[in-house]
């Protein structure tokens, strides 16, 4: 029998603080392929405007950028997509953990029982203006006995499930959907950025043993925690690599563009004796002459280090408060554009006393090597999730028996809810 393969085209959109990226992907699936084979057909990339710390601040400016990247990606792919899976970093992403309990009316666990459990979790998560993005099960108990992975068909009178919900403030999500609508596109689904990034840069084995993925973005730093192979926690901190740029610009009185250049070329957290003597030339903001000023790499490190220490202190606080923090193991994987700061992995390892590595997403076929790396981790994770049509996480519309893919169900439910 011939190996029949199917091809599906879909769109991805990642609106970040520093850059906005759109992609048109082609997924190839066949009997001989355990996972869909992904190929990048078109990419659009622009510097973001109208966005601060992942939150929309100017719809008109953001619209012009999003329209540009969508047109760029579709023009490169030679196809019009219209529907996009969109990442979400705004809305104070947070985890909520709860235990839902029900009576098993028939004495044998059915899919209807699972749907009632998830409905209870949804009601718990959606309070105080919060909107549900993801809802997944951490484990089951049948008549007080835990350790059950799949309870369907088991005999029981009472069933309980530990649930993990990812929620966000409703207002920023509304505005995000308004922006997409103004660009004459449709949202196929919303995915929490830290979850997408973590899937792109961590391995299945790391997630099984427990791992924390820290995504150092420009405007936000996000955390995704996994334990026993399950997505168990998320946090978002409104501080990122852009704040290092501001610190450098303020300390050296140099334009932001120059501060970004200095950070990218010379920024380091490593100490070396030669840094006291290695000079860096730069212009000063507002100076009319073209003369340059100088500083040393040692001073640059002294500017950067306090901000990184402050950020890691916030990370430590969030991990201590998150219910999944004590189950997520000792491994830390760093990603995001700011994770490429020289010496960051060693610095984080010393601060936390854990094994740390910088995670790179698998290169997408068709992507120029110069555009790849940790800065596109979220986009890579979106591609993997969208290609799978993943059923890993439950959503309210899934409990209504929808036969759409996972991300399609999320998007449909959010559009109806709003």
Q: For residue range 105-120, what is the model confidence (pLDDT) as tens digits?
A: 889 999 998 888 888 8
The conformation of residue 208, written as its DSSP 8-state character, comes to H
Report CA dihedral (403, 405, 406, 410) to the nearest 10 degrees: -80
Kindly report the CATH number assigned to the domain that includes residue 257.
3.30.420.40
| Per-residue pLDDT, 399 | 35
Lookup result for tokens 């549900």: 132
In sign, the C-alpha dihedral spanning 317, 319, 323, 327 is negative
Query: Which of 337, 358, 379 is the endpoint of a domain?
Result: 358
Residues β-bridged to residue 29: 6
Enter the tokens of residue 3: 């190996």
Q: Please give the Cα distance from 83 to 225 (Å, whole number).
A: 29
Q: How far is CA 301 from CA 136, 306, 313, 347, in A?
A: 42, 9, 18, 12
- 369, part of any domain: no
| 123 and 228 fall within a common domain | no
Q: In this structure, is residue 72 part of a structural domain?
A: no
- Whole-number Å distance between alpha carbons of 166 and 19: 24
Looking at the structure, tell me whether residues 156 and 270 fall in a common domain: no
- The predicted pLDDT at position 276 comes to 84
- For residue 290, the SS3 value is coil
The pLDDT value recorded for residue 404 is 40
Q: Is 53 within the bounds of a domain? A: no
User: How far apart are alpha carbons 388 and 6 in whole angstroms?
Assistant: 13
Residue 417 forms part of a structural domain: no
276 shares a domain with 228: yes
274 within domain boundaries: yes
Are 214 and 107 in the same domain?
A: no
Residue with tokens 């084995």: 205
- For residue 177, tell me if it sits in a domain: no
- What integer pLDDT is reported at residue 246 of this predicted model? 96
In whole angstroms, what is the distance from residue 79 CA to residue 58 CA? 29
Residue 128 falls within a domain, yes or no? yes
Torsion, Cα of 309, 95, 186, 391 (10° steps):
120
Q: What is the pLDDT of residues 240-299, one digit of tens each?
A: 999 999 999 999 999 999 999 999 999 999 988 787 888 899 988 877 665 678 899 999
pLDDT at position 369: 61
Whether 381 is in a domain gets the answer no
**Residues sharing a CB contact under 8 Å with residue 358, sequence separation 6 or more, in sequence order:** 333, 334, 335, 339, 340, 344, 345, 374
Let me know: does 36 contact 365? Beta carbons within 8 Å: no
Looking at the structure, tell me whether residues 133 and 214 fall in a common domain: no
Q: Which of 120, 125, 123, 157 is nearest to 141 (CA)?
A: 157
Predicted pLDDT at 31:
66
* Alpha-carbon span 304 to 283, nearest angstrom: 19
**Final residue of a domain: which of 167, 184, 212?**
167
Q: What span, in angstroms and rounded, lies between the C-alpha atoms of 417 and 167?
A: 14
Triad 188, 190, 191: Cα angle to 5°: 130
Q: Which residue, 358, 389, 410, sits at the end of a domain? A: 358
Q: Are residues 324 and 279 in the same domain?
A: yes
**Total domains present in the chain:** 2
CA distance readout (Å), 71 to 14, 40, 48, 174, 360? 14, 15, 15, 23, 27
Helix (H, G, I), strand (E, B) or coil at 145: strand
Look up the domain containing 306 and give its range.
203-358
Q: Do residues 36 and 28 lie in contact, with contact meaning Cβ atoms separated by under 8 Å?
A: yes
Residue ranges in the chain whose pLDDT is less than 50 = 1, 392-418
Residue closest to 241 by CA, chosen among 256, 226, 255, 253: 256
Which three-class secondary structure state does DSSP give residue 10? strand
Closest CA to 95 of 37, 26, 167, 158: 167
- 148 and 230 in a single domain? The answer is no
């Amino acid at each position: 029998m011939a190996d029949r393969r199917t091809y599906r085209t879909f769109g991805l959109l990642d609106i970040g603080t520093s850059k906005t990226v759109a992609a048109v992907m082609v997924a190839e699936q066949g009997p001989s392929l355990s996972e869909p084979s992904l190929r990048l057909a078109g990419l659009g990339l622009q510097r973001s405007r109208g966005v601060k710390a992942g939150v929309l601040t100017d719809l008109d400016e953001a619209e012009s950028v999003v329209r540009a990247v969508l047109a760029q990606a579709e023009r490169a792919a030679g196809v019009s997509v219209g529907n996009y899976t969109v990442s979400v970093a705004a809305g104070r992403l947070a985890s909520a953990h709860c235990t839902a309990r029900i009576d098993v009316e028939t004495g044998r666990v059915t899919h209807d029982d699972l749907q009632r459990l998830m409905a209870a979790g949804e009601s718990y998560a959606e309070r105080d203006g919060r909107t549900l993005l993801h809802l997944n099960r951490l484990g089951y108990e049948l008549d007080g006995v835990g350790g059950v992975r799949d309870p369907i068909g088991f005999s029981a009178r009472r069933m309980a499930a530990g649930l993990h919900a990812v929620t966000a403030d409703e207002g920023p999500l509304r505005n995000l959907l308004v922006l997409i609508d103004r660009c004459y596109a449709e949202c196929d689904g919303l995915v929490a950025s830290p979850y997408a990034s973590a899937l792109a840069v961590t391995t299945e084995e790391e997630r099984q043993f427990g791992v924390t993925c820290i995504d150092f973005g420009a405007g936000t730093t996000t955390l995704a925690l996994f334990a026993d192979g399950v997505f168990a926690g998320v946090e978002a901190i409104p501080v990122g690599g852009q704040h290092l740029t501001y610190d450098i610009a303020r300390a050296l009185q140099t334009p932001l563009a120059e501060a970004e250049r200095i950070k990218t070329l010379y920024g380091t957290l490593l100490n070396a004796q030669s840094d006291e003597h290695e000079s860096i030339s730069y212009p000063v903001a507002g100076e009319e002459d073209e003369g340059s000023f100088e500083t040393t790499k040692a001073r640059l490190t002294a500017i950067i280090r306090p901000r990184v220490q402050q950020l890691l202190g916030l990370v430590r606080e969030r991990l201590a408060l998150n219910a999944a923090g004590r189950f997520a193991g000792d491994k830390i994987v760093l990603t995001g554009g700011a994770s490429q700061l020289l010496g960051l992995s060693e610095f984080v390892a010393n601060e936390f006393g854990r094994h740390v590595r910088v995670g790179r997403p698998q290169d997408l076929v068709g992507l120029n090597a110069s555009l790849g790396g940790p800065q596109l981790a979220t986009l890579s994770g979106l591609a993997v999730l969208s290609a799978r049509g993943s059923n890993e996480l439950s959503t309210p519309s899934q409990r209504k028996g929808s036969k759409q893919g996972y991300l399609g169900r999320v998007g449909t439910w959010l559009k109806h809810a709003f």
